[in-house]
A and B are shown apart, each in its own frame.
Chain A
Amino acid sequence: MGITATVPGKVHITLKVNGEEMEVSFAPYKTLLEVLREDLGLTGTKHGCELGECGACAVLVDGAPLLSCLTLAIECEGRAIETIEGLANGPELHPLQEAFADLGGSQCGYCTPGAIMTAKALLDNEPEPSSQRIKEAMAGNLCRCTGYQQIVESVEKAAGCCRHAERVKA
């Protein structure tokens, strides 16, 4: 591990976030959530409990959804971190973002980044999930606004769009 203590009490490492290498110094006890939000300015990732109970802070690490409030940032060196900020392709929204925006999957929007990232991990692994599978995958992402129905509908629609895009590419 290339951890060097340049500032007393801090570690200095390189994190790979949304495909970009970012150098950052932080106190070693800081969680990935804190480093993303406070040290890298990536405030798209939210928090509702900071105790691993709500899913608002979910990001992808090496493709798997992880609660960033329970993950130490130093453990993420060399791993691929994906956050909501990296999802759109330039001005073009990801199908999940399109679907959440169009179908009411997002009301206050606070749970949305965590929900979308969790859904992305699901669709990356299972392009055709049943609605039951979607509900299982999203069960750790609490939402107080939507009643989940329009979130599930959004993920279903996005799955259809992703599959369509794949077919067009092929």
Chain B
Amino acid sequence: MNAKKKLEVVGKSRRRVDARAKVTGLARFADDLTLPRMLHCKLLRSPHPHAIIEAIDVDKARAYPGVHLVLTGKDFPVPFGIMPVAQDEYPLAPERVRYVGDPVAAVIARDEKTAEEALELIQVTYRPLPTIASPQEGLEQPETRIHDYGEQGNIHRNQSYEFGDVEAALAASDHVFEDVFFYEGNNHMAMEQQASLAHIEGDGKLTLSSSTQNPHYLHRQMARALQMPASQIRVIACQNGGGFGGKCDPAGHEIVVSKAALMLGRPVKICLTRQEVFYQHRGRHPILMKFRTGVSKDGKLTAVHLQTLLDGGAYGSHGPASTFYSGVLTPVTYELPRFKFEACRVFTNKPACGPKRGHGTPQPRFGQEVQLDKIAAKLGLDPAEMRLNMVTQADSLTANWLKIGSNGLAECIRQVVERSGWKDKHGKLPEGRGIGIACSTYMSGAGVSIYWNKMPHSGVQLLLDRSGQVTVMCGATEVGQGSDDVLAAIVAEVLGIDTSVVRCVTGDTGLTPVDLGSYSSRVTVMMGNAAMEAAGRVHELITAAAAEQLDTLPEQVVMSQGRVFAADNPNHGMSFVEAVVLAETKFGTLGAVGNYSPPKQPGKYKGSGVGPSPAYSFSACVVETEVDRATGMVHIPKIWVAHDIGRAINAVHARGQVIGGVYMGLSEALMEEQAFRRLPPKLSAALVHRIPSMLEYKTLTALDMPDVEVMLVEDPDPNCPFGAKEAGQGPLLPVMPAVANAIWDAVGVRIDEVPITPDKILRALVLKREGKTPRIGPESFPEVPYPESVFVLPPGEGGDGNESKNVSRPSAQSSQSSHSRMEVTAS
């Protein structure tokens, strides 16, 4: 694109390309699909949290009228899992169940009711095993092993990284603060229950239409679990009724209906019940965290030692990545010269945890931002000023070698402080009312694919023809975030047409080039850059053909508002369609591909692949609260959030993403929890989900939602299409700590765990009245057998991004004993 023009599509508030289908009920979600001769599938799930399957008798179920097929673990000998290092799941459990809800058998019948009736005829003999309810139990009872792979006992992943000598830095700090936090697990609760329809096409190939965020990874895992060539399988991601990470993992039921369709030669559908969605889970990991943070007198960070302990649930899922994410982004927001990060994920007999909006980062973000608030209070600093004084800079490297590009955090802080009237409110509101601030950052796409390869992360193919139609194909997946609209907008902007001219074909492994999926906030940047490249190539062909006709140079040709003309003579030109005809005449059939791979990252140590991103978004949030001291109820009148988005592709929907993130964060802060309880021993002592229903799993409703004022900070990032960074996950992250900090400002109690429920506030208020430390939260952090650290010198200390072996670190051996020489504040 040479002839420059103003942006005509990007940045405007436009109706999304898929809006009409959604408001008319025409959008087709997976459960909306039916096919002739379709059968229905239901799963039998384990009532035991941990047991050996001694026998399964399916004869009666098989003989039940209307039943076509019964499958068990025997039919699925090959395990699967999204991460190559954690393929530990079977579509149906073959010999062992690991949580209440683990599927053990499937019935395929003429309708759901018949299938359900037949499930009751299946007899499973279980031999119950001891159960692990928490990571602490998992560490204490290594002899009860949930999986026979992993680091040791029930430890799934265990790791330690140290960037510079942290103990030395802590010892030299004016203050060291030590805090322990807990963040309870929670579920995505996307409104759509997962559904999948498998069928065999006329050519004998298998097609699966499914609620999935990652058709590409699902495609690979289906080939693996079904032991057939991927070329014989087509995965179509339907419209998703929300994802939030819950539809990222390939799921057992997707493979079960596929197998059934292959065996029966008939379409087979399944739709999970809401209760089953809570069992399938893959939600937020419960994480216990300990922060030891060194600070100088003037409130600058000297070092952070972060330890995390993750409750992984029964399977690997994205666990290896989740473990990294429980710490790696910690150094991105504030200048931090040295950083040590130890993390451990433990298997428990509960539904598997996985990625939920923010994947692993909301938990440590909560801890760090609440701790900063405590530090500011202790040092007598304004929490907003203190943050502003230590924000990271654009184009800098963090201690753990992440490369930050554009950085609008300072501007975000300034804007929320200004708009919220922070200076007149913080510490100045009447008792019972308060205000709190917190900040955050998130990746615009993970720098490395989930399985190791050097191929592009996103591919886009454009087709145009003499009719003037523009078809853009990409494997990217619409989960509600507006990815189709971003795709259409970028193509439309480059080609100077309206988005209504563009037809999007997405998320279909049979038709579209590979895109890795809708996770890690990667779509706008990766698909967007690939689309820019493809559209740029078509732009070249069209302008070259039009230039001949216009008797000018191709560089002089402008494509704008459906017309193609010479820059110096706008009235002399042609329609877009006429230009396409010229181009097809000159060059033959028109089309182009584009693709994108993230830039190489400076970190070279083993494990440096998790955390890098082409661009980081930043957010700042101020929350105002009113706390009822009699009931502990928290009322939130207003939230201000500023998000550094680089550039909004569609202003109204970018704002919608931000508000939606704030909503989910607030709902997590105040009420959402995926909690479990043990049944009494005479009822098998099973670990059961306390609340597998939408009624009991509390979320905010329209009535509870405060007014959210959104400020978009637009400082285009050079790595991003039109400068656009992510908006889908980042704005959720600062909300939980801002709420906790506002409660402190309101009533002077610290709730160091999420969710912050009225009972916890009341208990803290009682402690306060009794003159005790007014804090509710975990009391201690257990002994975790973390491995020896991988030591890497930070960029500021002459490192080259590699592990430094044989560095002499006198303090490393005596890490805990150095405490006595420091002023340690249990803040």
Please list the residues of chain A having a beta carbon within 8 angstroms of any beta carbon in chain B. 37-38, 41-51, 53-54, 56, 83-85, 87-88, 93, 96-98, 100-104, 106-113, 116, 134-136, 138-152
Contacts and interface: CB of A to CB of B under 8 A. Distances in A.
Interface of B: 15-16, 18-29, 31-32, 34, 188-193, 239-244, 273-274, 479-482, 652-653, 655-657, 659-664, 693-695, 699-703, 705, 707-708
Contact of B693 (A49, A113, A136): A49
A120 to B, nearest CB: 12
Contact of A139 (B28, B660, B693, B702): B702
Contacts of B34: 38, 41
Residue among A43, A47, A107 with most chain B CB within 10 A: A107
B274 A146 contact: no
Given A43-B28, A51-B695, A108 B242 contact: yes
Given A47-B193, A109-B239, A145-B480, A93 B20 contact: yes
A149 B707 contact: yes
B669 to A, nearest CB: 13
B480 A147 contact: no
A142 B699 contact: yes
Contact of B192 (A85, A96, A108): A108
A53 B189 CA distance: 12
Contact of A51 (B480, B655, B694): B694
Contact of A110 (B23, B241, B702, B707): B241
Given A84-B25, A139-B702, 10 more contacts: A38-B34, A43-B32, A51-B695, A108-B191, A110-B190, A140-B701, A147-B662, A148-B702, A150-B652, A152-B702
Among all A-B residue pairs, the 6 with the closest Cβ atoms: A44-B25, A108-B480, A109-B22, A110-B241, A147-B663, A84-B25
A73 to B, nearest CB: 15
A43 B242 CA distance: 17
A107 B659 CA distance: 12
Nearest to B695: A53
A97 B702 contact: no
Contacts of A116: 23
A79 B655 CA distance: 41
A101 B15 contact: yes
A141 B699 CA distance: 12
28 contacts: A38-B34, A43-B32, A46-B191, A48-B192, A48-B274, A50-B274, A100-B22, A101-B20, A102-B19, A104-B653, A104-B656, A107-B657, A108-B190, A108-B241, A108-B480, A110-B29, A110-B190, A110-B191, A110-B242, A111-B191, A135-B703, A142-B694, A144-B189, A145-B242, A147-B656, A147-B660, A147-B662, A147-B664
A111 B23 CA distance: 10
A132 to B, nearest CB: 8
B23 A97 contact: yes
A9 to B, nearest CB: 11
Contacts of A110: 29, 190-192, 241-242, 480
A6 to B, nearest CB: 19
A16 to B, nearest CB: 18
B659 A149 contact: yes
A147 B242 contact: no
A54 to B, nearest CB: 5
Contacts, number: 176
Contacts of B15: 101-102
Contacts of B703: 135-136, 139
Nearest to B694: A53
B210 to A, nearest CB: 15
A148 B705 contact: yes
Contacts of B481: 107
B694 A147 contact: no
A47 B241 CA distance: 10
Contact of A109 (B273, B480, B664, B705): B480
Contacts of B24: 44, 84-85, 87-88, 93, 97
B23 A101 contact: yes
Contact of A50 (B273, B695, B699): B273
B25 A83 contact: yes
Contacts of B20: 93, 101
Contacts of A143: 191, 702
A134 B15 CA distance: 23
A104 B655 contact: yes
Given A107-B656, A109-B480, A144-B699, A93 B707 contact: no
Nearest to B706: A149
Contacts of B653: 104, 107
A45 B25 contact: yes
B23 A106 contact: yes
B578 to A, nearest CB: 28
Nearest to A94: B23
Contacts of B22: 100-101, 106, 108-109, 112
A146 B659 contact: yes
Given A88-B24, A93-B23, A144 B695 contact: no
Contact of B19 (A47, A56, A106, A113): A106
A88 B24 CA distance: 7
Nearest to B651: A104
Nearest to B650: A104
Given A144-B189, A145-B660, A147-B663, A104 B702 contact: no
Given A147-B659, A149-B708, A107 B480 contact: yes
A145 B18 CA distance: 15
A100 B653 CA distance: 12
B656 A108 contact: no
B467 to A, nearest CB: 21
A101 B17 CA distance: 9
Contact of A101 (B16, B241, B243, B659): B16
A95 B821 CA distance: 70
Given A84-B24, A104-B655, A146-B663, A46 B29 contact: yes
Contacts of B192: 46, 48, 108, 110
A144 to B, nearest CB: 5
Contact of B694 (A48, A93, A146): A48
B358 to A, nearest CB: 14
A113 to B, nearest CB: 5
B14 to A, nearest CB: 9
B36 to A, nearest CB: 13
A149 B703 CA distance: 10
A147 B23 CA distance: 17
Contact of A144 (B21, B26, B32, B242): B242
Contacts of B274: 48-51, 53
Given A53-B693, A104-B656, A44 B26 contact: yes
